[in-house]
């Protein structure tokens, strides 16, 4: 059963605090359910900003210096918004989540400009991480549901940036387009021969077992071509559902 599995303390202690800049404040509310403290900050490039602290820091003062803690600095914005953000601000981010509102051609051009800013900061992956989404709904669902921006203990079986970024993030010469959907437990995603990587987040009550998850994961993998990387995670949740995120080459 899900409640019989626990995250180890070492992983929980490695949680990052999150600084999120995003024009849609509903994303803040969705992410806040995982945190005990949320702080409003000065806007960044006209976008509202919130700081999210893990449970262990409930009594933390809001005046903690930004350079004294480890932040996962993230921007969630459209391709059109990205044009108005300075290179300096973009390069300060740990992750840029950009979604398509323009033509596919212009979106690809935007993605090319963002990955051109990437550098090797010694973490084993290019930063800022650039995640390109087919639409705003996919981007918001990913930021709030993928587990990468929430405390590690929120998922029974989670994944780290080292696990996920090689599968879904865009880099120079390798632009990826991420689409997402939420499925009832009994449904299956549409077949997709273009997919290169799939990230599954299984949500459910304590009545679901690891066997249920592994069996369903194997069945979903059959919807994609042989050799596609499938990564799965588990989160205890009040609904039985599956978040499916598919990364494929950008059109």
Label each residue of 98-162 as H, E or C: EECCCCHHHHHHHHHHHHCCCEECCCCCEECEEEEECCHHHHHHHHHHCCCCCCHHHCCECCCHH
pLDDT over 70 (residue 15): no
- At 56 the pLDDT is 52
Of 19-28, 153-162, 226-235, the poorest mean pLDDT is in 153-162
**Domain residue ranges in the chain:** 9-249
**DSSP β-bridge partners for residue 199:** 231, 245
How confident is the model over 22-35, as a mean pLDDT? 94
Supply the mean pLDDT for the chain. 88
* Residue in 157, 101, 100, 88 with CA at minimum distance from that of residue 128: 88
What is the pLDDT averaged over residues 87-111?
97
CB distance 175 to 230 below 8 Å: no
Distance, CA of 95 to CA of 197 (rounded, Å): 19
86-106 mean pLDDT:
96
Per-residue pLDDT tens over the stretch 52-90: 987 554 444 444 444 545 789 999 999 999 999 999 999
CA pair distance 106, 79, nearest whole angstrom:
8
SS3 for 198-221 is EEEEEEECCCCCHHHHHHHHHHHH
Q: What is the pLDDT of residues 197-209, one digit of tens each?
A: 999 999 988 777 8
Mean pLDDT on 220-242: 93
């Amino acid at each position: 059963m899900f409640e019989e599995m626990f995250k180890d303390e070492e992983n929980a202690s490695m949680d990052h605090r999150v600084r999120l800049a995003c024009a849609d404040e509903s994303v803040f509310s969705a992410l806040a359910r995982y945190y005990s403290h949320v702080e409003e900050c000065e806007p960044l490039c006209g976008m509202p900003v919130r700081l999210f602290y893990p449970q262990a820091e409930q009594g933390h003062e809001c005046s903690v210096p930004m350079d004294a803690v480890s932040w996962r600095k993230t921007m969630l914005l459209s391709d059109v918004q990205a044009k108005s953000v300075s290179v300096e601000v973009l390069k300060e981010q740990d992750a840029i989540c950009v979604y398509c509102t323009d033509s596919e051609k212009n979106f690809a051009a935007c993605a090319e400009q963002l990955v051109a800013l990437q550098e090797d900061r010694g973490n084993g992956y290019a930063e800022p991480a650039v995640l390109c989404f087919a639409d705003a709904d996919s981007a918001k669902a990913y930021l709030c549901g993928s587990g990468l921006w929430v405390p590690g203990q929120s998922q029974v079986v989670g994944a780290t940036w080292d696990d996920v970024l090689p599968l879904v993030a865009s880099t120079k010469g390798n632009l990826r387009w991420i689409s997402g959907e939420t499925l009832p437990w009994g449904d299956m995603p549409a077949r997709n021969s273009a997919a290169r990587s799939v990230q599954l987040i299984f949500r459910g009550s304590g009545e679901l077992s690891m066997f249920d998850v592994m069996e369903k994961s194997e069945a979903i993998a059959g919807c994609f071509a042989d050799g596609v990387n499938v990564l799965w995670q588990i989160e205890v949740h009040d609904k039985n559902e599956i978040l499916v995120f598919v990364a494929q080459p950008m059109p």
